[in-house]
């Protein structure tokens, strides 16, 4: 037997090996690609060795600075509009007896879960140059405002992402103890004053958390600005894509530089929020949730109207694509009349995309569930230095937009020793890395609530820690994790921004095909594909809502 010098010997148990495996996987699929990306950003074809040239180019050329300005303008503006829409909606929905609350709630969730670029696409179908509404009004001699450009992008982001603010704020509003507001009332503040001096400050961290989610998501989105920007309103993720596409065969240096800048933007916003929330943490356990005001007659109707209207607008894209997928088209666009030929076309031409989408997502979900359970267990129950490092690593993809992750994986795996570009594996890896944080977060939340003595009871009865994990802990976590997995599944099938960077002819997905069909002006097939995605999303979401019974948050 060999003897090693006695350092503090780690226990060579099951969890030791899991920790090693997880850390190695993270190093290989996250740290290595991202550090390659950073290294690449300092290289240029024009210079030998490391250089700041790419960054110098970025900060000196109007082309890039305009994109940065556009990006920041659009994301900040969208965060604010989402706040203005989401927060009042949350207040109305939690405090008043709005008609059809349940239905409106489901519509709001659907708006959030729908593929982002389908929103953009539908608004083009309605208000675009050849849109249904545009032509209708043009027939009456009225010119409708354009949907293209920053305004349209902000509108689409707002209707798609306001649910983030809504969900965070309504969560906070229902967990305020009513005595707090009553105290405000006792002290003599008026209702409106109370809203601004008591209620609002207390829910402020949640409001901000929602706004930051909007910021991050709109910053990361590629499809919407690509479709509505029409090459004129450029934002950073679009530039990343363009730079990468124009550099094909080259070495993606500028794409790397742009990626680093995008990550820096989202990271700084996230840190700002963390800094703010860390100083204002009003953790509250609601003993008496606030009462719902019972309105009657026209007052109740008045409260319902704005809420229902926003929910309807959020859902409009889905309705539009489903309806238009059954309308006959030719090369000029939709020409009217019911048909199934759009579906016949996609089934004959794009069947692989459909199977790929479901196949890749399903495999990704299996990995997400397994890794999600193991990692959240380590984070909650095996706290220590390794767990803290793991926590940081696993949450890092939060700040990496899909297109950036795409570039990361390409620059890391398009050369020896491991070549994965063009394979199904690289698509699946990108899905797992991006969606894992969500599952880990919901898994950890569940474990924090689960009493650790249940595990200890099993161990004390003679079952090893490893077997205990699989027969007791995993078994008990499963419902929560599976609900989370359904949400990850929905985001995987709708994923565009990293797929568009990573796909090859054989590994293309539905979302990539929609994007390409829209670009080829093949509206009928695009609508049919979008309808398939929308339908899958709706069905999955219904299963989720039935399954989770409100115990698992959608955000």
Partner 1 sequence: MESHDVIIKDAVKAYGDFKAVAGISLDIRKGEFFTLLGPSGCGKTTLLRMIAGFNTIDEGTISFGGRVINGVPAHKRGIGMVFQNYAIFPHLTVAENVAYGLKARKVPARDIAPRVRTALEMVQIDPLAGRRPNELSGGQQQRVALARAFVIEPSVLLMDEPLSNLDAKLRVQMRTTIKKLQRKLGITTVYVTHDQEEALSISDRIAVMKDGRIMQVGEPTQIYKKPENAFVAGFIGVSNFLDCQVDGQDPGNATLLIGDFRLQGVRLNRPYAGPGKIAARPEHLSMGAEGIPGRIELSTFLGDFIEYEILLENGQTLQLNEYTKDALTVKKDGTPVKVLPDADAVIVYGEGGEALT
Residues found near partner 1 in the complex (CB under 8 A) = 451, 453-454, 456-465, 468, 472, 475-476
**Alpha carbon of 345 to those of 118, 176, 231, 288, 332: distances in Å?**
19, 53, 29, 57, 17
Least distance from partner 1 to the Cβ atom of residue 262, Å: 42
Tokens representing 7 are 């350092």
Judged by DSSP in three states, 339 sits in: coil
CB of 315 or CB of 380, closer to partner 1: 380
Judged by DSSP in three states, 205 sits in: helix
d(CA 304, CA 61): 49
Least distance from partner 1 to the Cβ atom of residue 176, Å: 29
CB of 268 or CB of 464, closer to partner 1: 464
CB of 179 or CB of 460, closer to partner 1: 460
d(CA 119, CA 107): 14
CB of 302 or CB of 457, closer to partner 1: 457
CB of 475 or CB of 551, closer to partner 1: 475
Least distance from partner 1 to the Cβ atom of residue 487, Å: 23
CB of 151 or CB of 465, closer to partner 1: 465
CB of 8 or CB of 62, closer to partner 1: 8
d(CA 543, CA 361): 17
Least distance from partner 1 to the Cβ atom of residue 476, Å: 6
Cis ω on the peptide bond leading into residue 417 (within 30° of 0)? yes
**Alpha carbon of 247 to those of 56, 225, 307, 405, 508: distances in Å?**
18, 21, 47, 17, 21
d(CA 505, CA 512): 11
Judged by DSSP in three states, 421 sits in: coil
Angle (CA) 529-214-63 rounded to 5° is: 85
CB of 133 or CB of 472, closer to partner 1: 472
**Alpha carbon of 140 to those of 97, 133, 335: distances in Å?**
40, 11, 19
Judged by DSSP in three states, 97 sits in: coil
Q: By the 8 A CB rule, do 314 and 471 touch?
A: no
Least distance from partner 1 to the Cβ atom of residue 286, Å: 22
Least distance from partner 1 to the Cβ atom of residue 465, Å: 7
* CB neighbour list of residue 421: distance below 8 Å, 6 or more residues apart: 409, 410, 413, 414, 502, 504
d(CA 538, CA 523): 22
CB of 183 or CB of 466, closer to partner 1: 466
Least distance from partner 1 to the Cβ atom of residue 20, Å: 19
Least distance from partner 1 to the Cβ atom of residue 438, Å: 25
Least distance from partner 1 to the Cβ atom of residue 478, Å: 9
């Amino acid at each position: 037997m060999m003897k090693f010098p006695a350092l503090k010997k780690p226990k060579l148990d099951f969890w030791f090996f899991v920790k090693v495996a997880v850390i190695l996987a993270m190093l290989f699929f996250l740290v290595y690609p991202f550090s390659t990306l950073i290294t690449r950003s300092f290289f240029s074809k024009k210079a030998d060795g490391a250089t700041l040239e790419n960054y110098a180019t970025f900060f000196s050329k109007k082309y890039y600075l305009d994109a940065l300005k556009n990006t920041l303008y659009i994301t900040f503006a969208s965060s604010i509009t989402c706040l203005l829409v989401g927060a009042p909606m949350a207040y109305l929905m939690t405090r008043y007896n709005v008609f059809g609350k349940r239905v409106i709630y489901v519509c709001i969730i659907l708006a959030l879960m729908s593929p982002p670029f389908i929103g953009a696409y539908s608004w083009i179908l309605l208000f675009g140059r050849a849109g249904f509404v545009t032509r209708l009004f043009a027939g009456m001699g009225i010119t409708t405002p354009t949907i293209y450009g920053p305004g349209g992008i902000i509108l689409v982001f707002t209707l798609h992402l306001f649910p983030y603010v809504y969900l965070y704020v309504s969560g906070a509003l229902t967990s305020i103890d009513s005595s707090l507001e009553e105290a405000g009332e006792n002290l003599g503040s008026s209702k409106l004053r109370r809203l601004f001096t008591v209620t609002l400050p207390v829910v402020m961290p949640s409001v901000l958390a929602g706004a930051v989610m909007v910021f991050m998501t709109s910053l990361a989105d590629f499809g919407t600005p690509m479709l509505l920007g029409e090459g004129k309103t450029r934002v950073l993720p679009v530039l990343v894509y363009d730079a990468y596409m124009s550099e094909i065969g080259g070495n993606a240096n500028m794409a790397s530089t742009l990626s680093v800048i995008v990550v820096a933007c989202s990271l700084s916003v996230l840190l700002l929020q963390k800094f703010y929330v860390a100083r204002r943490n009003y953790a509250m356990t609601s003993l008496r949730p606030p009462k719902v005001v019972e309105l009657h007659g026209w007052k109740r109707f008045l409260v319902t109207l704005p809420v229902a209207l926003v929910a309807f607008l959020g859902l409009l894209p889905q309705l539009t694509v489903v309806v238009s997928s059954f309308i006959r088209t030719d090369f000029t666009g939709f020409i009217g009349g019911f048909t199934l030929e759009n579906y016949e076309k996609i089934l004959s031409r794009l069947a692989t995309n459909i199977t790929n989408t479901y196949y890749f997502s399903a495999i990704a979900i299996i990995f997400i569930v397994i890794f999600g359970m193991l990692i959240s267990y380590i984070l909650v129950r095996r706290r220590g230095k390794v767990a803290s490092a793991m926590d940081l690593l696993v949450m890092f993809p939060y700040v990496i937009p899909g297109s950036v992750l795409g570039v990361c994986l390409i620059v890391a795996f398009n050369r020896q020793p491991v070549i994965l570009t063009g394979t199904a594996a690289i698509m699946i890896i990108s899905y797992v890395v991006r969606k894992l944080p969500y599952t880990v977060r919901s898994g950890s939340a569940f474990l924090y609530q689960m009493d650790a003595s249940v595990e200890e009871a099993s161990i004390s009865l003679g079952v090893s820690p490893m077997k205990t994990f699989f027969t007791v802990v995993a078994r008990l976590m499963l419902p929560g994790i599976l609900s989370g997995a359904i949400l990850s599944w929905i985001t995987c099938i709708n994923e565009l921004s990293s797929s568009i960077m990573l796909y090859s002819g054989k590994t293309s997905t539905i979302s990539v095909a929609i994007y390409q069909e829209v670009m080829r002006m093949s509206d009928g097939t695009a609508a049919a594909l979008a309808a398939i995605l929308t339908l899958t999303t709706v069905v999955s979401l219904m299963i989720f809502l039935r399954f989770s019974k409100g115990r698992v948050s959608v955000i």
